[in-house]
Chains A and B, each alone.
Chain A
Amino acid sequence: MIRFDAVSKTYPRSARAALTDVSLEVAKGEFVFLVGASGSGKSTLIRMVLREEQPSQGEIHVLGQRLRSIPSRKVPYFRRNLGVVFQDFRLLRSKTVYENVAFTLQVLGKSRGFISEAVPDVLKVVGLAGKQSRLPHELSGGEQQRVAIARAVVNKPPILLADEPTGNLDPATSAGIMALLARINEGGTTVVMATHDSSIVDAMQKRVVELDAGRVMRDEVAGSYATTSPIPVVAEPTSLGAAR
């Protein structure tokens, strides 16, 4: 699904590397937490999966495609396979819940009939049935994030990327969002989620990849947020594949 081979990234006009020699493999249907302090490279990693950034060195493969070889005019078509959710929801304020979700499908040129079926379906999945004609500012933060998730998955992408999706939410609401993400993951969607929230990571018992200063410090199959062993365990991507 997603493979990083010895990926390094240095931003221009920056001495320090954002990512250094990152190798990582995420299989189909996995749920992976990316943890680490701010500036550890989590967001850069997600942006690279989206091909918003290109690696300075190394290769990235997503969904069987070598990202470096996708010409930039084909990038939008590649991105249609990825759903993305952010901390700040990124909804269109002037559009209703329904329109926000339908917008994705409209942009992709889906038919009116398809949209009028798919949007209510996905809103039901995220628990927003009956709120489709509300505007974003009339919703709570958790509900807004559900709209964002609905928009990300309405096109049924094989991969869902989430960059701190619970960063702006209280613990109870966060738990609801995590339950939703877990349900989406159970439906077969690969989920990669960057987070600071230790309680979520500890509760979910999913694979954890810890980044520190752009390096993979730890890669545990059913890990917790904090390091459990005194010495950081750095799992090889290959051995990890076998462990799964």
Chain B
Amino acid sequence: MRLALVMGEVWTGLRRNMSMAVAVVLVTFISLTFVGAAVLLQMQITQMKGFWYDRAQVAVYFCNDIDQTETCSQAAATPEQIQAAEDALASAAVAQYVDGVEFEDRDAAYARFIDQFGGTTTAEFATADTMNEALWVSPVTPADADVIAEATAGLPGVLEVRDQRALLEPIFSVLNTASLAAVGIAILMLVAAVLLIATTIRLSAFSRRRELGIMRLVGASNRFIQTPFILEGVAAALVGSLLAAAAIVALVQGVLQGYVAQTLRTVAVVSLDDALLVAPGLVGFGVLFAGLAAAVAIRRYLKV
């Protein structure tokens, strides 16, 4: 009986303020979509880091007799110098961070170079003699790359130590910035959502002041008076967050899995499972958030 009465009140309230309810739905929809996108972007970053960092190696390039840099001064690294670098990596202090070391001679380097850049003008000028000998070192964990670089960088005959992680950093920082931007937009939209919910409740309380006055008169409890208002806000936000959850799932399924994953086969993109994990979180967050906003607004505009 009472539940039916409360639900009836909620429905009347929503119908009476339909335009405001639609506004709340849209604003929560958009803000939560941005929240979801930010979460998915962070997941994507983590996934890509895991994928690439596992493969990232440290390349220790040795001097070639055509290198004119100060460290080499046109003297190719001697086999002793290369051995010294390998010994440095095998030393007790460093070995624990090294997973594997592979020596690449000029012919192998040339073959890989042609493999990567074959057909371009650069490839036409390249010969095996212009290549550098190198040690490809796999660190135990991505963070160990620093230790390896430090151990080999200053050695005689070493032209350059390149950590492949460094090449990936810009990509991650772009993605990270994008996710921060999404969070920023989401926060702005959430503020708008809170204000809208508060205004809706204020309007709703105003248009129902007669009923409210009578309810107070006959001794309706505060909770009984306030619940319909909170439920109104929650109902509108629920619709909005369900839409946002659907949008996130559709985005991952349609765009990421359907398009990006097909075109860029080497890149691991977030899966539908990840999206299905985020979606209920969004709905829960939206409902909780709206409930809190409504409860605070009621305290301000519905003095009982």
Contacts and interface: CB of A to CB of B under 8 A. Distances in A.
A76 B213 contact: no
Given A90-B213, A90-B214, A92-B214, A107 B1 contact: no
A155 B219 CA distance: 11
B299 interface: no
Contacts of A79: 216-219
A112 B2 CA distance: 10
Contact of A107 (B210, B220, B304): B220
Contacts of A80: 218-219
Nearest to A115: B1
Nearest to A111: B1
Contacts of B250: none
B1 A92 contact: no
A12 interface: no
A39 to B, nearest CB: 22
A164 B215 CA distance: 20
A77 interface: yes
B219 A92 contact: no
A123 B215 CA distance: 20
A211 interface: no
A200 to B, nearest CB: 23
Interface string A71-111: 01100111111101000001011000000000110111111
Contact of A77 (B1, B221, B304): B221
A76 B215 CA distance: 9
Contacts, number: 51
B169 interface: no
Interface string A148-171: 000100010000000000000000
A233 B218 CA distance: 36
A78 B222 CA distance: 12
Contacts of A111: 1
Interface in B207-265: 210-211, 213-222, 224
A104 to B, nearest CB: 4
A107 B219 contact: yes
A76 B221 contact: yes
A81 B218 CA distance: 9
Nearest to B224: A107
B218 A104 contact: yes
Nearest to A72: B304
Contact of B211 (A77, A84, A92): A92
A77 B211 CA distance: 18
B219 A108 contact: yes
A70 to B, nearest CB: 12
Interface residues of B, number: 17
B5 interface: yes
B228 to A, nearest CB: 12
Interface residues on A, range: 20 to 34
Interface string A5-30: 00000000000000000000000000
Contact of B1 (A72, A82, A106, A155): A106
Interface string A121-138: 000000000000000000
A206 to B, nearest CB: 24
B218 A73 contact: no
B1 A76 contact: no
A90 B217 contact: yes
A77 B220 CA distance: 8
B18 to A, nearest CB: 17
Contact of B217 (A84, A108, A109): A84
Contacts of A109: 1-2
Interface string B1-24: 110010000000000000000000
A225 B283 CA distance: 65
B221 A106 contact: no
Contacts of A72: 304
A55 B213 CA distance: 21
A106 B216 CA distance: 13
Interface in B126-161: none
A192 to B, nearest CB: 15
Interface centre among B5, B210, B214, B218 (most CB of A within 10 A): B218
Nearest to B218: A104
Nearest to B4: A106
A78 B216 CA distance: 11
Contacts of B2: 106, 109
A107 B220 CA distance: 6
A228 to B, nearest CB: 36
A76 B220 contact: yes
Nearest to A151: B218
Given A76-B221, A79-B218, 8 more contacts: A73-B221, A76-B219, A78-B219, A84-B217, A90-B210, A92-B211, A109-B1, A109-B2
14 contacts: A73-B222, A79-B216, A81-B219, A82-B219, A90-B213, A93-B210, A106-B1, A106-B2, A106-B5, A107-B215, A107-B218, A107-B219, A108-B220, A111-B1
9 tightest A-B CB contacts, nearest first: A80-B219, A79-B219, A107-B220, A104-B218, A76-B221, A76-B219, A109-B2, A106-B5, A84-B217
